[in-house]
Amino acid sequence: MAYKFVAGLEIHVQLKTKSKMFCSCPTEGPDTPNSRVCPICLGHPGTLPVINKEAVLMTLALGKAMNARINRVSKFHRKNYFYPDLPKGYQITQYDVPLIEDGVFVMITGKKVPIRRIHLEEDAAKSVHIGSSGRLTGSQQILLDFNRSGIPLAEIVTEPVFESPEEVAMFVEELQATLRYLGISDAMMENGQLRCDVNVSVEVDGKEGTRVEIKNMNSTKAIRQALSFEYERHVRAYEAGVQLQVETRTFDEQSGETKAMRRKETSEDYRYFPEPDLLELHVTDELMEEANKYNGSFHEAYKDALTWLGREKEARALALNKEQFSVFKALVTKGGDIKYVSRAVLIELPNMLSEEGKSWDQLNESHLSSIIDLLTQGKITMAVARELLWQTVRGNDPLEYARSHGLLNAGATDLEAVVADVLAKNPDVVEKYKKGNTNVLSFLVGQVMKQTKGTAKPDAVREVLIKRLSE
């Protein structure tokens, strides 16, 4: 039998507005539970919602980025269900007329992913399960934190066009980057700012398979694992002639498996009806215009990165990391040599930042730029540049450090004298070399580099050493 992986996505994105979707409570601030709440987001009877304009603008910007149709008049509905984290007993969302429809997301591979719709809604509160497992099952208490209640969400629904777990993961990575460049969400999966539900089925000889929804994947790595596991599970069931259930499954990161969670609700279960407390949402020309302030582009970043790096895979990796990309761009724009900028930004700094527990936005760009300048002008060696990068990452001024430690004289030290000194101090090594063991040369180069504090150029050191050793 021929099997084919098929998947479509529903992605919830927390928009980076200052206040919540239907009230003025702040979306960020102290994490003390229930410290950012009011009668509206607590769902008290008689309160009235007011639509957050910024959330609308952000969603419009996303729609524009996906070349989508923007419905100039859209509606809000009530989606009714009971759950402790939803005290109103319904969620305000959009149903038959969403803000955005029929878009296209073009992936770096060139694949065009049709976007069925993007609608606005409010987030629910967060349930905290107290107990050994941290999950509902077996927990002694459930605590509710309403800080999240009412945070604006954009729900993005794709057509089921994904053909492999890897393709799904790559799409999510590129969507994350798109949201970050636009400046409308931080889209961190581990913080729940981007939550991805995947509808998976496996076609058998061209016939549609049983559809299952997978939830709770907190990283793109988890998406790859969960979907690969699910594909294998479906294939095994079809091979064995076992009937698969239409259901919602959750991914367990520990075991790497998906587990049955509940029967999937259909839209009839939710008794949708128009939200009587809100008027229709009218998108004016002014709003359309104002939405253009969110205009950063992942694709533009990728194009730049490709020009600098030449290789698609590396360019994609750089463009996916907005902060790293912006440091790279700043250095190149200031005239830095691509070769040195690549070495510093792609190889040295990622390790240094992770070792020091710092992030890209904590780096001082003018300090970095001066290090690249010194390299480009040949005033320092790569070894010195590394030392100066460390100083920058630690928050010190690299120029000051270089001056006070005498590191600015690449090539200016009397190399001949240092080499003579090193040879004199290591007669046994010299003898080994003369007996034909040329491997010891790198030891001698290292000694010279050490004595010159890395200011000498390794090639020059090697040259002088060979010359002196052959005398």
Residue number, 23 or 187, with CB nearest to Zn ion = 23
Residue number, 147 or 452, with CB nearest to Zn ion = 147
Whole-number Cα distances in Å, 404 to 330, 365, 400, 401, 407: 27, 21, 6, 5, 8
Point out which span in 17-25, 60-68, 314-322, 433-441 binds Zn ion (CB under 5 A): 17-25
| Distance of closest approach, residue 24 Cβ to Zn ion, in angstroms | 7
117 contacts 105 by C-beta, under 8 angstroms: no
Point out which span in 21-29, 217-225, 369-377, 448-456 binds Zn ion (CB under 5 A): 21-29
CA distance 80 to 39: 19
Residue 466: CA count within 13 A, CB half-sphere: 9
Q: Does 441 bind Zn ion (CB under 5 A)?
A: no
CA distance 248 to 85: 19
DSSP state of 356: H
CA nearest neighbour of 149 among 176, 121, 120: 121
Binding residues for Zn ion, how many (CB under 5 A)?
5
| Distance of closest approach, residue 277 Cβ to Zn ion, in angstroms | 15
CA nearest neighbour of 10 among 175, 145, 148: 175
In sign, the C-alpha dihedral spanning 81, 85, 86, 91 is: negative
| Distance of closest approach, residue 131 Cβ to Zn ion, in angstroms | 29
Residue number, 28 or 416, with CB nearest to Zn ion = 28
| Distance of closest approach, residue 33 Cβ to Zn ion, in angstroms | 14
* Bridge pairing between strands 3-14 and 100-106: unpaired
Point out which span in 16-24, 125-133, 220-228, 243-251 binds Zn ion (CB under 5 A): 16-24
Which residues are 120's β-sheet partners? Answer: 154
112 contacts 106 by C-beta, under 8 angstroms: yes
Residue number, 148 or 367, with CB nearest to Zn ion = 148
Whole-number Cα distances in Å, 11 to 116, 155, 344, 422, 465: 12, 5, 35, 64, 62
- Residue 69 neighbours by CB under 8 Å, 6+ apart: 63, 100, 101, 102, 103
Residue number, 25 or 226, with CB nearest to Zn ion = 25
| Distance of closest approach, residue 149 Cβ to Zn ion, in angstroms | 8
Residue number, 38 or 469, with CB nearest to Zn ion = 38
| Distance of closest approach, residue 154 Cβ to Zn ion, in angstroms | 19
- Residues in region 81-120 near Zn ion by CB under 5 A: none
Site string for Zn ion, 23-62 (x = CB under 5 A): x-x------------x-xx---------------------
Residue number, 41 or 444, with CB nearest to Zn ion = 41
Site string for Zn ion, 272-311 (x = CB under 5 A): ----------------------------------------
| Distance of closest approach, residue 50 Cβ to Zn ion, in angstroms | 11
Residue number, 159 or 277, with CB nearest to Zn ion = 277
Provide the binding-site residues for Zn ion, judged by CB under 5 A: 23, 25, 38, 40-41
